[in-house]
Structure 1
Amino acid sequence: MNILILAAGGVELHDGDYPLCIAEIDGRPLLQWVIDACSGIRGAKFIVALREQDIRRYHLGNMVGLLAPRATVLSVPENTQGAACTALLATPHIDTDDELLILNGNDLLEADFSAVVSDFHHRDLHAGTVTFASVHPRYSYVRCGEDGLVVEAAEKNPISRAATAGFYWFKRGTDFVRAVQNMIRKNASVNDLFYICPSLNELILEQRRIGTYTVEQNHYHPMKTLQQVSQCESLILQRRAE
């Protein structure tokens, strides 16, 4: 399975101006949390997308090599037209019949990633995403039909209470690449940016089976400010002490 970690976002936490993906939580950089969460997935091949300037300035290639020795570091220019376009830079690695897992490297999701993927396998899905309950328009959303399969996906638009948690699995990487390419041809952007979640609409049009795996709201931690990083760390330490 190819695991693409998108950690090229431009957000910095003003803690020495280090990029968000290496903010430390309980002594471990956020990127390490994401990689460690995949430890139960057999045959994982990591591709980590990082900003070119961060790779140079903070030697992040060395850091990734220590965390996942056989990982591929994908150097991303300063600006792309959204996460989906960043993901397409990995096309030489992911446009295959192998499974593909796309993760947001700037969030922390408390879940058994291997169990989630196994659930998707068991349900014979073509794609799947992890969701949590929310109605805030900062997130991406999916809406499911009576059979529990996704019938619509939207970005920054609460079309349901099922917000996505930056975890997207595809049975075949070729399906994702094709879906994003079709989405871009249709100019299905949001605020002139192309996101991962709306690409699911292209697979829905192909009548593919797309499912969800729900986690508790407090098991998904978006990281946009130092306060959110601190709150996440406090919650994790509190759970450990219980």
Structure 2
Amino acid sequence: MNENVYSLLQEHRLDEYSKKFLDLGVKDAKYLVDGITAEQLMSIGLSSVEKNRFRRMQEHIKELGPVSEPVMHQVTHKTSPELKYPEPRYPEPRYPEPKESSHQVVMREDTRHKFILSTFGTTTYCSVCRDHIWGLTKQGYKCTMCSAAFHKKCVDKITEKCTEANRGTVIDKPHRFNPHNYKVPTYCAHCGGLLAGLYQQGCRCDYCTMDVHAVCQKKVAKPCINYWGLPHASIISD
């Protein structure tokens, strides 16, 4: 892939796919217009927005007309002639490492969480650090079993086992959840989603004030930090 092709991809914000275009045999700008098929675009994994950028790039290339190759200047030396190329306008591109497919499920043997790289369409908070999961696409991981959401950087910090994959596990310090009415926007401490509704939007622990969805209260694996005693330890139901 020459310098002109990488500049075009960078200009249209498609430079992260430069490695995949190179694997398809793209060597010049003309190949981007005449050599790329619809099936190849689907194999690259472009989103609908990125496909529109690719079409605009093709139109831009057609408007520019034929792209001339860099001219080689011959410099005469006393010993032997040598071809000297002009300095490149851009540095040699560093191709990003191949990214994992968003549909690939990764399982941690110690906690038995099954992680999948996910795109969150609404505001979501990490189940580990309770911070907002920022980004536009593929912002973090989600467990396909218990629906917990995590930052990419927080996946290695998870210590609690997945409650859905470890049913029957005894929780030493269980929460005591009861329905609660929220007057301000509140987010679930387990799945990170908004507690939506007007009345009894979720459940709150009487001890540690953890807020969760009603459907998430049986999936919470974190022990209660202010637990002060119940008649017996609760068990995750089968």
Report the TM range for the smaller structure's normalisation: under 0.3
Greater share of strand residues, 1 or 2? 1
Greater share of helix residues, 1 or 2? 1
TM-score of the superposition, structure 1-length normalised? 0.23
Q: Which has the larger radius of gyration?
A: 2
TM-score of the superposition, structure 2-length normalised? 0.23
